[in-house]
Each structure stands twice: as C-alpha cells, then as structure tokens.
Structure 1
Amino acid sequence: MAASAFKCGFGGFHSVRSARLELTVPRRQELVDVWADLADAEARFRLGWGEDGPVVDRDETDPMVIADTGAEFVGRDPQTGVAVASVGFGRAGNGFMEVGGLVHPAFRRFGFGREALDLVCAFAHQHFGIVELRARCETDNEASRRWLASAGFLPLEGISMHTLPDGRSMATIQWRRLDPTARRRCKQPFTPAE
C-alpha cells in the first residue's frame, strides 16, 4: 500500500480506505460502542472480556484512541457506515507492539478481518515506522491462526501463558511480522519507541 494512501490530521485523526473498508481512528466512546456491536459471546470469551465487554475508563474529553502506546482502528463499510471490524496495536508487557482485533459475526469468513489487519499493519509499518509487530492467540484458535498467517505473521517457537482481563490463563502462540522497510511518515506526535 502506498504511503500516500494514509491520511492523518489534527488531533490524531488517521484513516485509510480499501475497496471494501474505510478504517479510521475513533474517539473512545465510539470504540466502546463498536466493541459492544462486534463482540458476540465467542469473541468476548476469546478476549477475556466477560459478559459486559471490556472495562474502559470513561473520559469526558472523549479523545481519539491513539497515543505513543498504540492506536485502535474501526473498519466500516464505506457505503453503509456499518462497523465491520476493529483492529489495533498497543505496547504489550514484553515491550513490543502487539496487534489484535475482532470482526462482526455477520462479516466473519468473508476476508474482512484479513483486509482490516492488512491495512492496520501497513499503517503501523509504513506510516508510524514500526518495524516489528507481534500478536498472540490461543493454541486452539484456528480462526485467529489463519487470520495472522494470512497477513504475513509467522509463529514463534514455543508456547507461552497469557492472562486475560477476566483472570483466565491461556496457552498462546506468539506471532511476529517484520517490515525492514518500515519508515515513519506520520506528522502527528505519535512516536512509538522500538
């Protein structure tokens, strides 16, 4: 994807568009609402969110969900505005930028998750200049394994344990995607440390 395809503006606004999706950095309350729409029982279980979804601190200023520690993107159908996916990356405890996301149940198995992940990875590498992205998924989560592999992530050796927000511990596979051509082009103050 050409770096010129990425748009960034005041206050953390970022967007990119493909044939079927428009990804933008949302404001916090929009992201919470989108997550509520996207997360069915299976997604909430896999993400460790519990029945009510993720616990998110309310912020009266309703900022864009982008900072030095990561960014979230919401993928919408450009014709209807319907939220199809949410994919983001953030600094994990291991120091790496970790990618994760979810797709609306009605849009699963049609390639929307892959498309959204490809766009976010391109943004991370070619706009924010992040050379290495990491991800993790449960060892038995075939859908996530296919999703990551289809977007160029390679599994790392070994199994590690990960504790979810609901306190459940799970065996995970770590994944890595490298782009040695990564270069920062963003003019915003987002400056992730490598």
Structure 2
Amino acid sequence: MTSPDVREFKPLRRREVQRMPEVLARLREIPKLWRGGLQVAPVPVRCEGGRHVLRTARLVLHTPRDFLDMEIGLAAGADADAQHWLGASDRLVVDAATAEHLLGIDDHNRVERLSSFPAAMRRGLTRPLPPGPIAWLLAVDVETGRAAGLSSLTPDGEIGLRLAPTHRGRGLGTELVEATTRLGHAHRGLQTVRAGTERSNDRCRRALSAAGFVPCEGPSQHTLADGRVTDAVWYQHEAKESESLGPRRDPGVV
C-alpha cells in the first residue's frame, strides 16, 4: 500500500542503532539500566485536543503519544516482506534486532526497554509527537498490549498502513483499514477515503475489499521511495448517508 512521506518524522537512523545488539545483551544482564525521570504517558481514553482513540473488535488505535510510539509503529513494517511493498529508503528502516526490540514494547515494560537506548536517544524518543498534517494511528493488540501496526491518513484522504509480521493473516489488516477509514469520515469530515496499492499485492487488496472499499480511478503507476516503479490499483470508500461527518463536537471513543 502506498504510504505517506515519513520525512517529516525523523526516525532512528541505522548509525544510531548500530550498537543495539551490544545494548540488548547488557539489558538481559542488568534488568534496570536506567529509570531516572522516565514516565509512561497513559494511552488517551477519549478523543480530544486533536488526538484520537478508536476501537475495533481486537485493536485499540490511538494517536502516537511520543516519538517512541512512532518508532514502534514504523517497526511493524521494517521486515523484508513489508519493505518490498513499501519501498522505503534504507535510512528510514531499523534493523531486525531493533525492530524486534521495539515491537516487544508494551506499557508494562516500556520504561525498562527504553532504558536500553543511549541517553541522547532516550531524550528524543520520549519527546511528545507534534501535530502535523498526517494523522497517525498506532494499533495495539488488546490481548497482548503490544503494537500490531500503524496507519496513516493524509489531509486529502489517502490511507497507508503497516502490520507487524506476527499479526498478519488474521484479518487485522481489515480492522486497521476500517478504523482508519472511520477516522477519515467521522473525525476528519472526509466524504471519500482512498488507498492505492501495488496490483500484485493480493493481501492488501483483500483487506481493502473486506473493509468495504471498491475499485476507482487513479494513477496506473506509482514510484516508491526507493525508486521502484509499480503498477498501481486504487480503491475508495464513501461515507454512508447514516454516517455523521466530523470533526466531532463531543469528543469520545468511536
């Protein structure tokens, strides 16, 4: 699936995480490397202040609280299979060990796992994520409390998503699409939400169809961030007459 330009978000660079294997080894030996001043911001329970919370049958989705939440979400698409479809530049992708470490974070071990990063990186990761034109949703598995994926919605209604390897093949991609579509209609006031994907990406196309998207017109080719040109197909979802278009006046969970 096409994904918004993440250059507005400064992710971990490969050179910044090259020490991760060494740090992870230390973490296994020393349960608490550093906890001074680190606090876990609670997951918001209501939509307010430009931040959103949505629920599906198996996911809780919320606006990322800080840069660590963003890194966790982006790690869901750091594996080779996801990168084939996303085509992200190497400088934006963490290595496998770091991705595994990030995807293993939940609110119970967040402080301990964050402690494994160098001090300067910790300060950056705990900074609140500033608002921007793209709306992001971190999807959390309600059973495990760990990240299942990340979705995005551009101002003109185009969605993108990443689903963690451990959460694929279970229908969660459809739930992620449905929630992001609801964000567009009910929170952003968009009549139409669109998504583009590679013609051969059958899993993505099935998820879009299952979420109620239908084929529509769009550019026949798309150039990924890594320069690869792909054959593209496009889908759209129209708000139903019964759906109230946002922004919502009464903030809450939807």
TM range (shorter): 0.7 to 0.9
Measured after TM superposition, the shift of residue 152 of structure 1 is 1.1
Q: Which residue pairs with 2:148 in the alignment?
A: 84
Letter in 2 for 1:122: R
- Residues of 1 paired with 2:198 and 2:164: CA distance? 19
What is the CA RMSD across the aligned residues, in angstroms?
2.7
Letter in 1 for 2:56: S
What are the superposed Cα offsets for residues 8-42 of structure 1, whole Å, 9 maximum, x if unpaired? 123x3211123311100103442123212443101
Q: Which residue pairs with 1:15 in the alignment?
A: 53
Measured after TM superposition, the shift of residue 159 of structure 1 is 5.7
Letter in 2 for 1:183: L
Return the match for 1:130 from 190, 193, 202: 190
- Taking only the aligned residue pairs, the percentage that are identical comes to 31
Measured after TM superposition, the shift of residue 186 of structure 1 is 3.2
Q: Which residue pairs with 1:144 in the alignment?
A: 204
Measured after TM superposition, the shift of residue 134 of structure 1 is 1.0
Q: Which residue pairs with 1:44 in the alignment?
A: 83
Change (3 A) 1:46 1:122: same
Q: Which residue pairs with 2:220 in the alignment?
A: 160
Structure 1 residue matching 2:203: 3-state secondary structure: helix
What are the superposed Cα offsets for residues 101-128 of structure 1, whole Å, 9 maximum, x if unpaired? 0111111111111112111111211122
Structure 2 residue matching 1:45: 3-state secondary structure: helix
- Residues of 2 paired with 1:48 and 1:38: CA distance? 10
Greater helix share, 1 or 2? 2
Letter in 1 for 2:78: A
Superposed, 1:14-33 pairs within 5 Å as 14-26=52-64, 27-33=66-72
Q: Which residue pairs with 2:139 in the alignment?
A: 75
Measured after TM superposition, the shift of residue 173 of structure 1 is 0.5
- Residues of 2 paired with 1:40 and 1:8: CA distance? 32
- Residues of 2 paired with 1:153 and 1:54: CA distance? 29
Q: Which residue pairs with 1:34 in the alignment?
A: 73
Q: Note the residue ranges of structure 1 that are not aligned, 5 or more in a row.
A: 1-5, 189-194
Moved more, 145-154 or 73-82: 73-82
- Residues of 1 paired with 2:194 and 2:184: CA distance? 11
Aligned length: 175
- Residues of 1 paired with 2:69 and 2:240: CA distance? 34
Change (3 A) 1:158 1:64: closer
Measured after TM superposition, the shift of residue 50 of structure 1 is 3.8
Letter in 2 for 1:31: M
- Residues of 1 paired with 2:217 and 2:247: CA distance? 33
Larger Cα Rg: Structure 1 or Structure 2?
2
CA contact (8 A) 1:138 1:170 kept: yes
TM normalised by structure 2 equals: 0.61
CA contact (8 A) 1:156 1:175 kept: yes
Return the match for 2:246 from 180, 184, 187: 184
CA contact (8 A) 2:216 2:234 kept: yes
Change (3 A) 1:40 1:76: same
TM normalised by structure 1 equals: 0.78
- Residues of 1 paired with 2:152 and 2:213: CA distance? 15
- Residues of 1 paired with 2:69 and 2:217: CA distance? 37
Greater strand share, 1 or 2? 1
